Structure 1
Amino acid sequence: DVTGLAQKGGAVMSHVQIANKPDDIHATRIAMGEASLVIGCDAIVTASDECVSRMQAGQTRVVLNSAHTPTAELIKNPNWRFPGSSTEADVRAGAGDECVDTVDANHFAVALLGDAIYTNPFVLGYAWQRGWVPLTYQSLMRAIELNNVQVEKNRAAFEWGRRAAHDPATVRKFAQSQRAGAATDAEANATSSKIISLHTPKALDTLIDKRAAYLTAWQNSAYAERYRALVSQVRAAESALDSGDGQLPLTEAVAKNLHKLMAYKDEYEVARLYSDPAFIEKLKASFEGDWKLHIHLAPPMFSKKDAQGHLIKKKYGPWVFSAMHGLAKLKFLRGTAFDIFGKTEERRTERALIGEYETLVRELIGGLNAQNRELAVELANLPDGIRGYGHIKENNLKGVRVKWNDLLARWRSPQAGTTQHAA
């Protein structure tokens, strides 16, 4: 069995049977308990009842990609979390602990080859090196060649998978060296029970610089300076607390969430991202042959609505990218009287949220102390729950509003400075 997850089509399971001659194969699907090998490219699919039922303890070998790949549930539930430990436990229960190998193939594919799209050949190479795929090396290389899509990259992924099975420590070390120096944001979930901060002062500087640079590209340097000024005020106020651990969780929370609100995805920003030469170059590196790009958009001024009043997306051909090049240059109109896109309710709400959050942050700075910092962090992280676009974003905002009002009432209560808040 080979398992995976399609972006829109849901779980994918391929039943692959290998025999010396066609007459030896009597069914198109593998029966319950008869799988010799499961190549689990997606952990959730591999742990499903349909897949586990094909395993037999002590007989079925499994290579499980342990990467935390989100499912469509994330769209309906923004707080969805990957059930990592339970999926692996289910697979080990089905095949037997000694028959299961796990590897974070997504991590290696991105670090070593630049894209998670090479996860599958990586996992296949891992399984082959373990001696679990009864095919010759030459036949597999020929299959990759005949597929005629990113041949060299897929071969390299297969080879890296082999080496990961043979010498995981070396592959892990090399992958880390490949990513060294790259700015990565360790997204810490601030909870109501304890303050979590994963950034050193130097890493926090990098975080702020990166987001300020993005806001400069989003609008201009003055807009980015507005961001830096408020974050600097928070940093000064929090540093004065002198907690001794060098951590600044409130500054980190504001740096992330203020940027999130200020860099909202309006029409100008979508046009800028799609017209960025780096976007086209990445596509060219990922696909070969004669391909065309189509995108689905729902411009508020031109799109029809469904029975619920939601905008209906429409497919646009390659010509739209020429229009985007022009639209991206008009970002200076954003928020002015000439901004035809900024007159919608969604855009007005997004702009208002920025000012509202800035006011909240200034209030937090004014009353911050060591006892209420945890509550301040929770308030500062509220925009993280405002996710999605259109009506999805609107619904999420309603939920955040309830929590916003509740926490702000707690902050303003006489006990806020002396008690810890627990949700």
Structure 2
Amino acid sequence: AWVGQHWATDEDHVFVNLGDGTYSHSGSLAIRAAVTSGAKMTYKILYNDAVAMTGGQHVESGQTPAQIAQQVEAEGVKTIVIVTEDPTRYAGVKNLPRSVKIFDREDLEDVQVMLRSTPGVSVMIYDQMCATEKRRRSKRGIIAPDRVRVIINTEVCEGCGDCSIKSNCLSVEPVETELGRKRRINQSSCNTDLSCLTGFCPSFVTVKDGEPAWTGEVRREFDASNLPLPETPSLAAPWNVLFTGVGGTGVTTVAAVLAMAAHVDGNAASSLDMTGLAQKGGPVLSHIRFAREPEDISTGRVPPASADLIIACDLVVAAGGDALLLMDPTRTAAYANSDVTPTSEFIRNRSKRFESDLLAGRVKRQARDFGAFDAEALAVGYLHDAIYTNMIMVGYSWQKGAVPVSLRGLYRAIRLNGTKVDDNMAAFNIGRIAAAAPERLATQHDPRGHLEPKTLDELIDDRATRLTAYQNAAYAQAYRDAVTRVRSAEEAADLGDKLTRAAATYAYKLMAYKDEYEVARLYTDGSFAAQLASQFKGGKLRFWLAPPIMSKKDSHGHLKKKHFGGWMMLGFKLLTKLKGLRETPFDLFGRTEERKMERALRDTYLETLETLASGLTAKNHAVAVAIAEVPDEIRGYGHVKEAAVAVASETEAALWKGWPTGDMPKAKTTLIAAE
């Protein structure tokens, strides 16, 4: 389109995205036409060795990046660059045109700025294997698994979400902790892309050549014997099953196993997968229809209001319109995994929450029979991999008598699939036990965290104890005194404890700002060692940090992270012992602008609590709580924290306009122009 319109617009340049598969079958002709037109544009050719949109097939031409560079150069492209995760791979490539320059993917933005000012047509070849395909091939044993894994120290993490934004990765998941929502790496779904490491945060650690913590352990015992065999549905009429889940978790594979089990039984079955952008973690709906004879199945899709069974491996997808449309309250049985998988919305909104109870209620209203349990926790607890959640759900649904295949047929189909046979058989049996005799299974903990609410006194005592460890008992007492003043004012006005809770939570947050001493303490107080031991054993550690004294800056003036070896733990231990220097004339770290800002935030907040307590009334209580909760938005380190402070300051300024009258600021109306 740009070839035809570039001469008629003030827009100077555009980027055009092109996959290597599209380039192979027709995209090269578009580049030829662009060169002929004289348009100023850059083609970004993603060389990922897979047609990701339609299932991960190999590109038919098999061209290498060097061959693509040769071809576009021959077509007349003057500026060609290659961006890759490992530039050293091109050290011995001999057939690469001399004019081609190689860049690390960390320099992507700078490279794009350079190309934007380049006359005519330019080409950037981005060389990196499709992350989803890489993980799939690793699980199948086609390629060796990556030797490097990532772990986030949740105590150091601030929950700012910068790592999610930088990586755009759904394996960077929320985890609920005593100090709020933070981040963790889901090792089951992680594709070891490692782009999350660029998130500006010292909580990231890589483990090279480490083994899973459970390597060599005997599988936790469970007994699936003596379970009653359910009466499976008759196929006098077609039986319709809808499987809902998230792309990359094996939904379509399990659907195919169910269809194969029907064939083993001598019946007919069809499986139709509605995947869309499922390769990127999007919704998947697999329609599975069972019948006695093939001619009884007139269409692959389950007709509206005709689902006999919903296997909801993901409640977000099951509670969506596409799935609910297929349900009938008098006909449909629905069985769900109660744990909600984070969606792409969590990447854009770090505070996004999906309430599983609300989603479950939406599905339950449309079902004649409903059951929900934490299948993912069972998969992780017993089999150490969330990928088995789907097969556990199949076992549960089968034991409920809602899957029209025999036990023999299912076992045979799992064996015919040929992948992780023993584990899949175990997962199926775990699901059966969860349905018929859940007391036989050990209690599992939600890997994304589950917290019981604390009383106000418990909250204050917990934070005071933490502040004693952070600095000393006097510092903790200053915290108690500040919170007590607010509590006395709120109790005197008989207004509950919402303001006091906010003060207790966020006074601690701003008083325990994470400087170098605190980050070091949180790495050496034993919590990180326990977290690491729960996931890996052995291996070499690397800590990804950006010390202001020795770190370079990028084109935006932000510090760039670099890695430090396991010896850094000795440095952390030394820094921990020096925490007494904090805010003294000998505190070298305390002179930076960031530390000055953090101290000012703390002192201003304590003054704010004094003001709120002295002028508190029933009328302005809501405004007081909102002001006290503003620090919730202040998260992160360095430039990330600075940006958060700027936003929080605007919010706080708007709230203060309603003090002491109690007027809440009006919500802003945002107009989004169509692009």
Q: Same fold judged by TM-score > 0.5?
A: yes
Equivalent position of 2:623 in the other structure: 375
Equivalent position of 1:191 in the other structure: none
Distance 1:363 1:276 in 2: 36
- CA distance 1:64–1:345, change in 2 (3 Å): farther
- 1:127 to 2:400 alignment: no
**2:644 match: secondary structure:** helix
Compute the displacement of 1:224 (Å).
Answer: 1.1
Q: Which has the higher strand share?
A: 2
Compute the displacement of 1:250 (Å).
Answer: 0.9
Equivalent position of 1:343 in the other structure: 591
RMSD across aligned C-alpha pairs, in angstroms? 4.7
Alignment counterpart, residue 653 of structure 2, candidates 394, 401, 405 = 405
Compute the displacement of 1:101 (Å).
Answer: 5.0
**1:295 match: secondary structure:** strand
TM-score (norm 2): 0.46
Residues 15-414 of structure 1: pairs in structure 2 closer than 5 A: 15-16=252-253, 17-18=256-257, 19=260, 31-32=273-274, 34-35=287-288, 42-44=314-316, 64-71=336-343, 73-74=345-346, 76-82=348-354, 97=367, 102-105=372-375, 120-121=387-388, 124-131=391-398, 135-136=410-411, 162-166=432-436, 184=451, 186=453, 203-243=455-495, 247-288=496-537, 290-412=538-660
- CA distance 1:315–1:35, change in 2 (3 Å): farther
- CA distance 1:144–1:273, change in 2 (3 Å): farther
TM-score (norm 1): 0.70
Equivalent position of 1:151 in the other structure: none
Distance 1:312 1:104 in 2: 40
| Identity level (%) | 37
- CA distance 1:109–1:377, change in 2 (3 Å): farther
Distance 2:630 2:553 in 1: 30
Compute the displacement of 1:209 (Å).
Answer: 0.8
Equivalent position of 1:193 in the other structure: none
- CA distance 1:380–1:307, change in 2 (3 Å): same
Q: Which amino acid aligns with 1:409?
A: K
Distance 1:158 1:146 in 2: 10
Compute the displacement of 1:274 (Å).
Answer: 1.7
Compute the displacement of 1:252 (Å).
Answer: 0.7
Query: Quick check: 211-220 or 271-280, which moved more?
Result: 271-280
Compute the displacement of 1:358 (Å).
Answer: 0.4
Aligned residues, how many? 372
- CA distance 1:309–1:222, change in 2 (3 Å): same
Distance 2:479 2:363 in 1: 47
Q: Which amino acid aligns with 1:324?
A: F
- CA distance 1:159–1:272, change in 2 (3 Å): farther
- CA distance 1:308–1:85, change in 2 (3 Å): farther
Equivalent position of 2:159 in the other structure: none
Distance 1:313 1:48 in 2: 41
Q: Which amino acid aligns with 2:395?
A: W
Distance 2:636 2:339 in 1: 23
Distance 1:6 1:46 in 2: 21
Q: Which amino acid aligns with 2:338?
A: S
Distance 1:397 1:78 in 2: 16
Q: Which amino acid aligns with 1:81?
A: R
Query: Quick check: 116-125 or 371-380, which moved more?
Result: 116-125
Equivalent position of 1:25 in the other structure: none
Does the 8 Å CA contact 1:12/1:45 hold for their aligned counterparts? no
Residues 210-242 of structure 1: per-residue CA shift (max 9 Å, x gap): 111111112221111111111111111111113
Distance 1:161 1:339 in 2: 57
Equivalent position of 2:248 in the other structure: 12
Residues 183-214 of structure 1: per-residue CA shift (max 9 Å, x gap): 9464xxxxxxxxxxxx6xxx111111111111
**1:130 match: secondary structure:** helix
**2:534 match: secondary structure:** helix
**2:248 match: secondary structure:** strand
- CA distance 1:207–1:343, change in 2 (3 Å): same
Compute the displacement of 1:92 (Å).
Answer: 9.0
**1:80 match: secondary structure:** coil
- CA distance 1:60–1:345, change in 2 (3 Å): farther
Q: Which amino acid aligns with 2:467?
A: L
Does the 8 Å CA contact 2:311/2:397 hold for their aligned counterparts? no
Does the 8 Å CA contact 2:513/2:598 hold for their aligned counterparts? yes
Q: Which amino acid aligns with 1:258?
A: A
Equivalent position of 2:84 in the other structure: none
Distance 2:378 2:461 in 1: 28
Q: Which has the higher helix share?
A: 1
Does the 8 Å CA contact 2:315/2:360 hold for their aligned counterparts? yes
- CA distance 1:295–1:365, change in 2 (3 Å): same
Does the 8 Å CA contact 1:185/1:207 hold for their aligned counterparts? no
Compute the displacement of 1:103 (Å).
Answer: 2.9
Equivalent position of 1:192 in the other structure: none
**1:410 match: secondary structure:** coil
Compute the displacement of 1:89 (Å).
Answer: 9.1
Distance 1:35 1:342 in 2: 63
Q: Which amino acid aligns with 1:272?
A: R
**1:293 match: secondary structure:** strand
Does the 8 Å CA contact 1:42/1:69 hold for their aligned counterparts? yes
Compute the displacement of 1:262 (Å).
Answer: 1.3
Equivalent position of 1:196 in the other structure: none
Distance 2:383 2:481 in 1: 37
Residues 124-163 of structure 1: per-residue CA shift (max 9 Å, x gap): 43432432696449x89x987978xxxxxx97x9876544
**2:544 match: secondary structure:** strand
Does the 8 Å CA contact 1:219/1:331 hold for their aligned counterparts? yes
- CA distance 1:101–1:358, change in 2 (3 Å): same
- CA distance 1:98–1:300, change in 2 (3 Å): farther
Distance 1:122 1:13 in 2: 8
Task: Provide structure 2 residue ranges, at least 5 long, that are not aligned to the other structure.
Answer: 1-168, 173-189, 192-245, 264-270, 275-285, 290-308, 668-675
Distance 2:558 2:450 in 1: 37
- CA distance 1:39–1:235, change in 2 (3 Å): same
Q: Which amino acid aligns with 1:130?
A: S
Higher gyration radius (CA)? 2
- CA distance 1:336–1:164, change in 2 (3 Å): farther
Does the 8 Å CA contact 2:517/2:576 hold for their aligned counterparts? yes
Compute the displacement of 1:102 (Å).
Answer: 3.6
- CA distance 1:62–1:136, change in 2 (3 Å): farther
